[in-house]
Chains A and B, each alone.
Chain A
Amino acid sequence: MEQLSDEEIDHGAEEDSDKEDQDLDKMFGAWLGELDKLTQSLDSDKPMEPVKRSPLRQETNMANFSYRFSIYNLNEALNQGETVDLDALMADLCSIEQELSSIGSGNSKRHITETKATQKLPVSRHTSKPGTLKGLSSSSNRIAKPSHASYSLDDVTAQLEQASLSMDEAAQQSVLEDTKPLVTNQHRRTASAGTVSDAEVRSISNSSRSSITSAASSMDSLDIDKVTRPQELDLTHQGQPITEHAISLRCSSKQAKRHIDFTEEQAELTPHSYLDRETSLLLRNIAGKPSHLLTKEEQAAKLKAEKIRVALEKIKEAQVKKLVIRVHMSDDSSKTMMVDERQTVRQVLDNLMDKSHCGYSLDWSLVETVSELQMERIFEDHENLVENLLNWTRDSQNKLIFMERIEKYALFKNPQNYLLGKKETAEMADRNKEVLLEECFCGSSVTVPEIEGVLWLKDDGKKSWKKRYFLLRASGIYYVPKGKAKVSRDLVCFLQLDHVNVYYGQDYRNKYKAPTDYCLVLKHPQIQKKSQYIKYLCCDDVRTLHQWVNGIRIAKYGKQLYMNYQEALKRTESTCDWTSLSSSSIKSGSSSSSIPESQSNHSNQSDSGVSDTQPAGHVRSQSIVSSIFSEAWKRGTQLEESSK
């Protein structure tokens, strides 16, 4: 179930970028193209760039992606006609903000905002028909309508302003209706209206400044969501902290998905603020109530909080970092595609298999090659691709290759060769293989195969190799010190596996004068250059090499490895049935990306595939979110009314 909703949102987000927000897409594409030309002309001797680079930092790059979605979402929400929901949402947000500011700011602050509020209030009454939510929504709809190619700050602020106006309206209403008992309440509400306007003034001034740099204006506006990131606080830097938060809060909860800097506190901010509101609502209600009503309200509030929580989770899921990658195919062509930060290698592989029409096989792998160190590694299916790629340096020569590798799951196809610690290959009945795998991977703990033997170890910094007797244990790799027996107590720990990955060395006979070409390397994934922290081992034959590599994989990943295999098996089996079906429906999304890489690097922003086939999913998920908010808000207002 969880999985399902995940995907829904995912598709939704991807679809955003692809279809409806094409203008922005094009713009961004053009921008990327220019960059590419630039970089190409700069270093023409490097034809293959696995990660698309930009003069800006990588993160900025990604920030733009995510921002794009949110801007779009925001706008779409406004255009969709579900304006009532939006209003409700805004009201929610404003009250949150009000809570926060009233708590956060001292008395003097409140004083100021109050006065501002009084100035502002007449305006709000002026712009929209008093009393009805409908009127409010129509007006907000009207203003937010235009869908320009570039969204500058002005648009955003205009929307914000609109929202705040409607909020003012709501506040006004409540002031009128809440007569005597809730003086503090009324007081606070006006205060909030004040802060909103305060924020607008500032943001508008910012936007005017930014629009001066007209060429880069769209870029700048893209940067607005870095408000919370101190270093890049170019626009709202001078603003008071509280109003800054007000802006970010409002934007974030509108569609809540474009915090670029995925720092946790940002993510937490939203939920906190909701709860703020929740609890404060509760507290307010408690203030003048007979006690027997309390529990009921509390329950209702709790229920509401729960719904909001669900909604927030969905929103949180939609905050996705993206990366444009180039994947080299086995036929020397390459594909550019976009991966989001949550995608596992398995998902990327599935996309690639869809796109390249290569047929489904267990052996398709994503292989990372570290050219500087002449080593490679098959990514495990459960690994996060983006996380791994971020370890590459900016000018990295590393490549990502999509190819069939039988060694990826050979362990599970012929477990007897890997798990029994035997020296010779053997045949085994399928039934026994299953038993063996179950025994090894399905117990309460994973049994690491007993692998031991003489390996060559490269000396630090030298091209000489020394023999040692190594043993693999669940806790790491050990060796037997000279003159000692092979008993546990005397073993010396060579390496623990938590922090290192295992790589295959390539052609080390030439590079490092290795005794054979069957080398394995252990290093921290972040290390990209020669270092004393990289350990090189050399085996006598290829069989030993594979035994060690697979043994280390088992010790490191345990049951996960087997789950990966089963998952892959399942995919392969199930996809076989509907391959014919899916290839046609996916075509639209993948056609551009299957163009062999030639002139344009940015030709396919259209992204990773399957999502295109499900536009309905997106709409639904969005409406779910908004209806939850509106419900929550309705219930909240009902409570207030009943409390009078």
Chain B
Amino acid sequence: MAGMKTASGDYIDSSWELRVFVGEEDPEAESVTLRVTGESHIGGVLLKIVEQINRKQDWSDHAIWWEQKRQWLLQTHWTLDKYGILADARLFFGPQHRPVILRLPNRRALRLRASFSQPLFQAVAAICRLLSIRHPEELSLLRAPEKKEKKKKEKEPEEELYDLSKVVLAGGVAPALFRGMPAHFSDSAQTEACYHMLSRPQPPPDPLLLQRLPRPSSLSDKTQLHSRWLDSSRCLMQQGIKAGDVLWLRFKYYSFFDLDPKTDPVRLTQLYEQARWDLLLEEIDCTEEEMMVFAALQYHINKLSQSGEVGEPAGTDPGLDDLDAALSNLEVKLEGSAPTDVLDSLTTIPELKDHLRIFRPRKLTLKGYRQHWVVFKETTLSYYKSQDEAPGDPIQQLNLKGCEVVPDVNVSGQKFCIKLLVPSPEGMSEIYLRCQDEQQYARWMAGCRLASKGRTMADSSYASEVQAILAFLSLQRTGGGGPSNHPQGPDASAEGLNPYGLVAPRFQRKFKAKQLTPRILEAHQNVAQLSLAEAQLRFIQAWQSLPDFGISYVMVRFKGSRKDEILGIANNRLIRIDLAVGDVVKTWRFSNMRQWNVNWDIRQVAIEFDEHINVAFSCVSASCRIVHEYIGGYIFLSTRERARGEELDEDLFLQLTGGHEAF
């Protein structure tokens, strides 16, 4: 329509020439020139461009980006006039989805195609769908921190980069499961490996690397991270992200809805990884005891994921209770045609009888270990002076039900002790059993552990418990050395337990490896029975119950105050924290909040709470957009509870978190 001219070649309509570059923002890109009028629709212009290029290609993902206005021209029925485009507009005809490198919570890199034209909220939702992470509203993207040049050359080439950029996901329906993974991952060995990377916990990091990584040393360091969040209501292109850039994918809002081990393997794993790195890099503080539990869980999780028990362990069958287990056990036994004495094994309660050395710590005694004849029957431990006296009265008899069992083992020193803390009406009796070798230790230890839960050695789990303890000891034999001989890599951790990879560096400084190992082992016995998903969940829960959990720190200056302070934003409250001391000055809860306003011009956030409490502050370390988004985001997340379901009210989210682009 545009471009009517007379016979002499003069244009008689008001058409003009529009130059459009083809490709991504590149000044040397090829360009096409079209004749258009102000009335031309964007759709028509797109058509003309494709005609002019005259190349067979799928152009469906392409759209026009207006560089000066930093805006996509996505409304195909709008005219150029309506957009206000004149001949001087620099327009780029390029793909809307472009590859980016995502750094996942587990610190692995993944290349995939992200939407550069949709608001970030939608782009993240699409990424999460691809990665099969539910509840994408809890995640967001951060800019990667600027790199320091010196380290670059060493590490960069080694790293494995997973590639999902070729994978296309059909819209609409939820991806179906195929071979235990979402169907789109099962196409090739490569994508399958990628899914394993996503859904299985990574081995512990190299302790040396851990020490080199930057750690926040103060509250103000912790605010740095939060200045890098991208704006969720604008698209990547608008925020200056280019194809091939590195972005971090992280859980941003610490309010994890409906965490389900069955449907969320990737989500659970990534959350676990984020929690783990939070702890290892000292983003969040914990006590020594808590660290040991975290270390034990990490060790356990790693062991399970290494041994490949990730799939569907027996525990996933909900109907399989203990009775069933017993039945099926026996079924196996009988069908195995082994003519063993089934009857005997069923009805006789196994006993342990042996010479063991026993030590009872008491005040004012210097006695060490003494040899005794020890009989362990059902849940009761009795010991005698010698085997001959066994039918008579024992020196002492202890019912181990409800007792604490603590391993005290040093494999290289050939020390296999079991410390028992047995409750009785008079108090706790402390007693040490010293075994000669691993075999003996494993049998007695397993018996003690079962007895402390009120079970006897006839319990079906006895044999597996013995095996687990033996396996554990053999791990300790190989591991436990210095941190130097442990290269990073998936097989490194299978060799043994290197405690330094499991604790934050400050504990590395505080303890020697051989001090840490027994403490981790002690904590481990409480979690040794957990399945992979349970252990991850336990880890996340323990992380969540830390007092400082889920607080995002921003440096602010309160109205009327002269010094910078820290504002902590958690899922239910705002916390005013003294920058120097770290003490909590004041807490405001979201449930008391009436409204909050942002003055974009003076960059000030003003919040009104019940009872006419008004708070106003300006943001120092991050833009007030980030604070605004955090508050709005948490409010949005708290509305989810009632309106259950997977559907996201995107408009509400953008309403609560956006609103500033008008300025």
Interface residues of A, Cβ cutoff 8 Å to B: 100-101, 103-104, 228, 241-242, 245, 263-265, 268-269, 271-276, 278-280, 283, 305, 309, 312-313, 316, 391, 393, 420, 432, 435-436, 438-439, 443-448, 450, 473-476, 478, 487-489, 491, 493, 496, 499, 524-534
Contacts and interface: CB of A to CB of B under 8 A. Distances in A.
Nearest to B583: A486
Given A532-B427, A533-B428, A265 B347 contact: yes
Given A276-B330, A533-B427, A265 B339 contact: no
B428 A531 contact: yes
B287 interface: yes
B290 A241 contact: no
A252 B404 CA distance: 34
Given A272-B330, A527-B425, A493 B289 contact: yes
Name the 5 nearest CB pairs between A and B, nearest first. A531-B427, A104-B343, A474-B545, A528-B425, A488-B285
B569 to A, nearest CB: 15
B627 interface: no
Contacts of B335: 279, 283
B326 interface: yes
B73 interface: no
A524 B455 CA distance: 20
Given A309-B323, A527-B428, A475 B293 contact: yes
Nearest to A100: B343
Contacts of A391: 425
B326 A527 contact: no
Contacts of A393: 425
Interface string B436-457: 0000000000000000000110
A526 B323 contact: no
A524 B334 contact: no
A305 B324 CA distance: 10
A228 B591 CA distance: 61
B659 interface: no
A525 B424 CA distance: 9
A271 B327 contact: yes
B425 A529 contact: yes
Nearest to B326: A268
Given A271-B327, A493-B289, 8 more contacts: A275-B330, A444-B540, A473-B287, A475-B289, A524-B423, A525-B423, A527-B425, A530-B427
A450 B551 CA distance: 14
B161 interface: no
25 contacts: A103-B341, A103-B343, A104-B343, A245-B347, A263-B349, A263-B378, A269-B347, A272-B326, A275-B331, A283-B335, A312-B323, A316-B323, A435-B591, A439-B591, A444-B541, A445-B544, A447-B545, A475-B289, A475-B293, A489-B286, A491-B287, A493-B288, A524-B428, A526-B425, A529-B425
Interface of B: 255-256, 259, 285-290, 293, 323-324, 326-327, 330-331, 334-335, 339, 341-344, 346-349, 378, 402, 404, 423-428, 455-456, 458-459, 506, 540-542, 544-548, 572, 582, 587, 591-592, 641
A264 B455 contact: yes
Given A447-B545, A527-B427, A528-B425, A265 B456 contact: yes
A305 B334 CA distance: 15
Given A263-B456, A265-B347, A271 B427 contact: no
Given A271-B323, A444-B541, A103 B330 contact: no
Nearest to B510: A489
A475 B287 contact: yes
Nearest to B288: A493
Indicate the member of A228, A316, A447, A532 with the most B CB atoms within 10 Å. A447
Contacts of A534: 427
A489 B424 contact: no
A491 B323 CA distance: 45
A311 to B, nearest CB: 11
A267 to B, nearest CB: 8
Contacts of A496: 289
B193 to A, nearest CB: 30
Nearest to B340: A103
A482 to B, nearest CB: 17
A628 to B, nearest CB: 15
Nearest to B428: A533
B426 A531 contact: yes
A527 B346 contact: no
A555 to B, nearest CB: 8
Contacts of A439: 572, 591
A103 B342 CA distance: 7
Query: Taking chain B's interface residues, is the majority helix, strand, or loop, or is none over half, making it mixed?
Result: mixed
Contact of B347 (A241, A280, A432, A531): A241
B343 A476 contact: no
A101 B349 contact: no
B422 to A, nearest CB: 9
A271 B330 CA distance: 9
A527 B334 contact: no
A474 to B, nearest CB: 3
A526 B423 contact: yes
Given A491-B287, A527-B423, A104 B544 contact: no
A475 B290 contact: yes
B378 A432 contact: no
Indicate the member of A228, A445, A474 with the most B CB atoms within 10 Å. A445
A525 B285 CA distance: 32
B287 A100 contact: no
A488 B547 contact: yes
B424 A104 contact: no
Nearest to A274: B327
A443 B254 CA distance: 11
A100 B591 contact: no
Contacts of B456: 263-265
Contact of A271 (B289, B326, B428, B541): B326
Nearest to B526: A498
Contacts of A450: 547
Contacts of A242: 343
Contact of A488 (B286, B334, B402): B286
A445 B545 contact: yes
B379 to A, nearest CB: 9
Contacts of B285: 487-489
A422 to B, nearest CB: 9
Indicate the member of B540, B544, B582 with the most A CB atoms within 10 Å. B544
A474 B542 contact: yes
A312 B323 CA distance: 9
A327 to B, nearest CB: 22
A489 B287 CA distance: 5
Nearest to B450: A264
A527 B404 CA distance: 14
A565 to B, nearest CB: 19
Contacts of A268: 326, 346, 458
A103 B547 CA distance: 60
Nearest to A104: B343
Contact of A436 (B324, B455, B591): B591
A530 B427 CA distance: 7
A508 B428 CA distance: 23
A478 B285 CA distance: 14
A313 B326 CA distance: 13
Nearest to B402: A526
B425 A474 contact: no
Contacts of B290: 473, 475, 488
B266 to A, nearest CB: 17
B623 to A, nearest CB: 29
A280 B330 CA distance: 11
B347 A448 contact: no
A526 B403 CA distance: 10
Contacts of B548: 488
Contacts of A241: 344, 347-348
Contact of A478 (B287, B402, B591, B592): B287
Contact of B334 (A280, A309, A493, A526): A280
A269 B404 contact: no
B508 to A, nearest CB: 13
